[in-house]
Amino acid sequence: MSDKVVAELQEPTPAVGDGGPDMIQLLTPEGQRVSHPDYDKYVADLTPEDLRSFYRDLVLIRRLDAEGYALQRQGELGLWPSLLGQEAAQVGSGRALKPHDFVFPTYREHGVGFVRGMDPQSSLQLFRGVSQGGWDPQENNFHLYTIVIGAQALHATGYAMGVRMDGNVGTGDPDRDTAVICYFGDGASSQGDVNEAFVYAASFDAPVVFFCQNNQWAISEPVEKQTRIPLFQRARGFGFPGVRVDGNDILATYAVTQHCLDEARNGNGPLLIEAYTYRMGAHTTADDPTKYRVSAEVEEWKFRDPILRLKTLLAHEGMADETFFANVDEEADRFAAELREGCVTMETMPGATMWDHVYAEDHPVMEAERAAYLAYKASFEEAN
């Protein structure tokens, strides 16, 4: 561990606050570009086309979220966990990944999956109940959604330990060195699984970046009930660095995540990122946030909207015009129509497929369970 890291770990811990002076920001809520000596270099090479593609991703993902919410309310999905307000945290971090990095999501990372090349219908399959996951994790290095709160932190740490044991970290070969990223929320930071993952990751120098989307509410409990210090400072107790980034700032999220992933690939992991953001909607469609938070808080966070601030930058700097924005909106309309059509017409996957991706290779226990299921199902057909 470097002297700089040791010095950071020994600094006094600040109190919980509204972002605070330690929060990394490159784009203000007003859409004004600001500089940061440590992170400017990670966005210096971004072209206007890159920024326009960022904006397109944000808009399409928000439309995916809105369509998922509407489909659930209309009885087409059993449940939908919204990411409204967290688009920049997901797009920025997702775009910082390399293809051979591996992602361990919660059940809310629809945006990360999208930028990783996932078919958006995959998550709809899961929440429609027609599949047990809907995708092969190896296809886009994107693990299945994890419903058990915090469990994916252990999975990610174990995978990262394997990466180190395979010698795929710190070699200096960019096509070989691999990082793992694990997403979880502020509520999950209180789970034993997450804290145990921190212990193992630190003990084995696992090349994993823990990405906490602090959306201020663990279902119905505010973040103040989870911690007395900023969440990113919790990493200090486990012996690795943490950083807080403005989670509604796509440039800062992209830069900070890229930096942390580079550190992990170079053998300097683990690291913790706290993306300071806000859950604009309900925890899931089974939740009613009006019962535990005031509307004034939601209204305040509307002024920090991640899409609006990037749109303001693009327009002010002459990198996009009204035609571009209109075209993106039209694409979003077509995207939503395709999502809806695909959802209402999708067929239920055969139940036996739930054993397909449990292990990388054939496994006798899985095959026995599959055979028992098929025999059980066949018994009903015989009875008829």
pLDDT (0 to 100) of residue 15: 45
The strand pair at 102-104 and 208-214 is best described as unpaired
Tokens 């103040």 found at: 224
Q: Encode pLDDT of 132-178 as tens digits.
A: 777 889 999 999 999 999 999 999 999 999 999 999 999 999 999 99
For 118, which DSSP code?
-
User: What's the predicted TM-score (pTM) here?
Assistant: 0.91
β-pairing, 271-276 with 242-246? Answer: parallel
Structure-block tokens of residue 31: 């859409």
**In the predicted model, what is the mean pLDDT of the chain?**
93
In 57-86, which positions are buried (b, 16+ CB within 10 angstroms) versus exposed (e)?
Answer: bbbbbbbbbbbbbebbeeebbeebbbbbbb
Question: How would residue 381 be classed by pLDDT, with cut points 50, 70 and 90?
Answer: confident
Residue 1 has pLDDT above 70, yes or no: no
Choose among 68, 90, 66: nearest CA to 80. Answer: 68
Confidence of residue 255 (pLDDT cuts 50, 70, 90): very high
pLDDT digits (tens, 9 = 90+) for 197-206: 999 999 999 9
Residue pLDDT, tens place only, 10-35:
555 444 446 888 999 999 999 999 99
CB atoms within 10 A of CB 133: 19
> Which has more confidence, 97 or 352?
97
Sequence-separated contacts (24+) of 346-350 with Cβ below 8 Å: 346/121, 346/124, 346/125, 346/128, 346/130, 347/130, 348/129, 348/130, 348/131, 349/125, 349/130, 349/131, 349/132, 349/134
pLDDT digit string, tens, across residues 305-317: 999 999 999 999 9
Which region, left, alpha or beta, applies to residue 92 given φ > 0 means left and ψ of -120 to 50 means alpha?
alpha
What percent of the residues of the chain are helix, what percent strand, and what percent coil, each to the nearest 5? 50, 10, 40
pLDDT reading at 2 higher than 70: no
Angle, to 10 degrees, between the axis of helix 151-165 and the axis of helix 192-203? 10
89, containing H or E segment: helix 87-96
Catalytic residues: 279, 283, 292
Q: Strand, coil or helix: what is 97?
A: coil
Residue scoring higher pLDDT (347 or 323): 323
Task: Indicate whether 9 pLDDT > 60.
Answer: no
Rounded to an integer, what is the distance from CA 158 to the centroid of its chain?
19
* Averaged pLDDT for residues 284-303: 93
Residues 6+ apart with CB under 8 A from 31: 308, 309, 310, 311, 312, 313, 316
